[in-house]
Amino acid sequence: MISIRHSELSPSIRNGRGAERRFHPVATRGNARDEGDHTGRWRPSLGAWIEGDGTRFRVWAPEQEQVEVVLYEHVLDGHGSYARNGRQEQVVPLERFHDGTWGGWIEGVGAGATYRYRLAAGAFPDPASRYQPEGVHCPSQVVDPRAFAWTDHDWRGVDHKDLVLYELHVGTFTQEGTFEGVARKLPYLAELGVTAIELMPVADFPGDRNWGYDGVDLFAPARCYGTPDDLRRLVDEAHAGGVAVFMDVVYNHLGPEGNYLPTFCPYYFSPEHENPWGKALNFDRERSMMVRRFFIENALHWVHEYHIDGLRLDATHAIIDDSGVQFVAELVARVRESVHGRRVYLIAEDHRNLSYMVRCEGEGGWGLDGVWADDFHHEVRVALAGDNEGYYADFDGSMTKLADTLNKGWLYSGQFSEHLNEHRGTDPQGIPPRRFVFCLQNHDQIGNRALGERLHHQIDPAMFRAASVLMLCSPATPLIFMGQEWAARTPFLYFTDHPEELGQLVTEGRRKEFRHFRLFADEAARESIPDPQSERTFLESRLDWSEPVRDPHMAMLWLYRTLLTLRRTEPAIRYAEVGSFEAFALSETTLLLRQDADIGPSLLAVIQMHGAGEVDLDGHPALEGLAFPRCQLVLTTEDPPFTTDPQPPQVDLVGRAPRITFIRPSAVLLRVLPDGDGLI
C-alpha cells in the first residue's frame, strides 16, 4: 500500500507559510557509506530521494493549485533497464509549502520507481529528475545514490599545479559512446599525463546525439551514455587511477525540446533579460531566489552524489544578473562551504576577461579557480592558420601580441574590440598563471567551424608540434581536446537529434549562420556544410582508435607524452608563479619562453613559429641573470621519436650563449644548469 505522511517532512519543509528565506544547502559531516559522499553529508531538497522505507518528493510549482505524484508500475529487465510493460497508475497528492514548493514522503516507493508530476495542464517529468530511462518526455525514475559502493574514500583531488585537462565528448570519444567506454580509456589517459578529464555536458537531452548544450534534465545523466551508476563507476575508476573528473554544466539556458521548467513555473525565465538562446534564466527578478536554489542544488548534486571534482561553467557571460550578489559568486561560495577534505574546482568559460572572477573573495572577487582564456587560442590560430574573420579580426597573430598574451594571461585588458564594438577586458596583474586555461583546440573552436576542422588539419605538422610546445610549456593550465594528442584525422562536427520539424530549423539555421564568411557566401557552398541532424555527421566525429598506434599519429602522441612528463618533472614549469615566467618576441617568427625555479634549473623554450630562421641569444635581455654556457639540450620537436620526417635545427651550445638555426617551424627546449653541473 502507498501512503503519504506529511508529518515526516523535514522541519525546513514543514515551516508553514512564513517569509521567504535565502537557500542554504545542507552539507554536514557524516558516514560516507550512508550518504554516498566521502566529503560530507549531502541532503537534496528538490526532486525525489530515498528516505527510510520510502521516497520524498519535492517540486517548485508556485502557480499551481494542485500537484500530484503519478506513480507507475514498472518492470526491470535482466540488466536493470526500464521496460515499458506492466503499467498501472497510482496518484498521490502533495502538500503545498510557503516557498511555492509541493512535497511529501510516500511509503513503499523505492529505487527504480517511475513517476511524473501531474499539474493542471497534464503530467510531466520531474524538473530535478535523477534519471530519464525512456527519454526527456517520459516518466522520471527514483535513484538511490547510496546503493553505489564507492572505493575512493582516500581521494583528495588533484593539486592545481598538476592539473592537465582533457576535454572529451562521451558519445564520440569511443566507438561505444558510453561512460563505460570512457572508463576503458582511463589507463591510456593516465599514461598520457592527463590528470583530469572534462566531460562535455552529460545532462539528458532530446534524442541520442547532441553536444550536450541542449540539456533539459539537468540532474539526470544522459540515458544514451549509460545509467547513473555507470557514471559513478567512471568517476570511481578515474579516482583509483589518479585522474579527476570535471563536468561541463550549463546554467545560462536550456534546450529547445523537452524543457518543462516553464510548465512548472514561469519565473524560471526572466521577463526582461535575453541572451543568444532567447529569454535568460531569472537570477535577479521576482522569485529568483528559488531559481538560484535550483541551479546551485544542481551543482551540489554533481559534486556530492557523483563525486565530481570540478565544474566548467558554460558561457557565464550569458548569465545575466543585476542583483547585489552575483549568482556565480554565490554558487562558488555554496560549493566551497559544502565540501570538506578534497579539492573541487570551479572554472568559467567567459570571453569578457574579467579579472575579479578569478580573484579570491578577500580581494573582492568571485573566487573561481580558473577561466578559459581564449585570447591565447585566437592569437595562435591567426599566427599559424591566418584566420581573420569574425572575432579573429581582433587579433593579428604577431609574436609581440602572442608574447603579451602569454605574459598577462589574456591580451585584451581594456582595449577596444572592433569585433564587439566596445572596450573589452580588465587588468589581470597578479593573477597566478595556472588560473588561465589555455588551449590549441576545444569543442567550440573546432565544432563551431563549418566543417569541424581541427587546427592540425589546416597547418603543417611541424607548426603544430611547435605550437604544442608553446602551450604545454607555458605556466597556464593546459586543456587538450580529445584526439589532439595524436593529431586525429577525424573532425569534430556540430550534431543534433531533434524531432523532424525542429531539426529542419536547426539545419537551416546552422548553414545560415555562415553566410557572412567568404567561403560560404554562396548558397551552394553552404549546402556543403554537414547536416547536424544526419547520423553520419555524428559518426564522422568519432575518434579512430587505430590511429594512435601507427605513424604519423604515434609520433605526435609521443611528443605529447614527453611534454606532459616535463610538466610534472621540471620544477620551473610545475611550480610556476607570478614573476617566474616571461615570454619574449625574438623576431617576427620566433618566441622565447623563460621559466625560473626557486630550486632547480631554469628552462628555455625557443619556438620558431614560421619558416626557417637563425637565433643568437648572446646579449639578449631575456637571458639576464642566467649563467652561460651551462645549457643542456632537453629536446627538439624534430627529434626522431616525434616525427617520421625529421629536419632537426642546429643547436650550438658551445659559445657565450645558445645559437640555433631552424630549418622549418620547430621548438628547442634548453635546461639552464646551475654552476658545477655538467656542460653540453
The answer, as to whether pTM is greater than 0.95, is no
- Give the number of domains in the chain: 3
What three-state secondary structure class fits 352?
A: coil
Q: Answer yes or no: do 299 and 365 share one domain.
A: no
Residue 461: other Cβ atoms inside 10 A: 18
Q: Answer yes or no: do 590 and 641 share one domain.
A: yes
Last residue of a domain, one of 330, 365, 396: 330
Strands (E) in 205-325, as ranges, are 217-221, 244-249, 269-275, 278-281, 310-313
Q: Answer yes or no: do 361 and 316 share one domain.
A: no
Q: Answer yes or no: do 14 and 109 share one domain.
A: yes
Which residues, given as ranges, of the chain have pLDDT below 70? 1-41, 74-88, 627-629, 675-680
Q: Answer yes or no: do 9 and 120 share one domain.
A: yes
Residue 262: other Cβ atoms inside 10 A: 12
Q: What is the DSSP string of 273-300?
A: EEETTEEEE-SSSTTHHHHHHHHHHHHH
Q: Answer yes or no: do 356 and 312 share one domain.
A: no
Could you tell me the CATH number of the domain that includes residue 78? Answer: 2.60.40.10
Reply yes or no on whether 330 is catalytic. no
C-alpha dihedral sign at 292, 298, 299, 304: positive
What three-state secondary structure class fits 76?
A: strand
Residues 6+ away with beta carbon under 8 Å from 310: 196, 198, 244, 245, 246, 247, 344, 345, 346, 347, 369
Distance between CA 397 and CA 237 in Å, rounded?
42
Query: Residue 584 carries which side chain, given as an amino acid letter?
Result: F
Q: Answer yes or no: do 309 and 425 share one domain.
A: no
122 falls within a domain: yes
Last residue of a domain, one of 418, 434, 450: 434
Q: Answer yes or no: do 144 and 289 share one domain.
A: yes
Across the chain, mean pLDDT equals: 91
Distance between CA 109 and CA 115 in Å, rounded?
10
Number of residues that this document lists for the chain:
680
Q: Check if the beta carbon of residue 175 is closer than 8 Å to that of residue 222.
A: no
Last residue of a domain, one of 385, 406, 434: 434
Q: Answer yes or no: do 354 and 295 share one domain.
A: no
Convert the pLDDT of each residue in 610-639 to its tens digit: 999 999 998 888 888 876 658 899 999 999
Q: Answer yes or no: do 290 and 400 share one domain.
A: no
Q: Answer yes or no: do 256 and 287 share one domain.
A: yes
The pLDDT score that the predictor gives to residue 467 is 99
The pLDDT score that the predictor gives to residue 73 is 79
Question: 492: closest CA among 552, 528, 450?
Answer: 450
Could you tell me the CATH number of the domain that includes residue 594? Answer: 2.60.40.1180
371 falls within a domain: yes
377 falls within a domain: yes
370 falls within a domain: yes
Given 180, 248, 309, 349, which residue is catalytic?
A: 349
489 falls within a domain: no
Q: Check if the beta carbon of residue 59 is closer than 8 Å to that of residue 104.
A: no
Question: 198: closest CA among 225, 169, 227?
Answer: 169
Reply yes or no on whether 237 is catalytic. no
Domain of residue 429, residue span: 350-434
367 falls within a domain: yes
Distance between CA 637 and CA 465 in Å, rounded?
6
Q: Answer yes or no: do 424 and 288 share one domain.
A: no
Grid cell locating 302:
554533481
Given 248, 314, 369, 497, which residue is catalytic?
A: 314
310 falls within a domain: yes
The pLDDT score that the predictor gives to residue 249 is 99
627 falls within a domain: yes
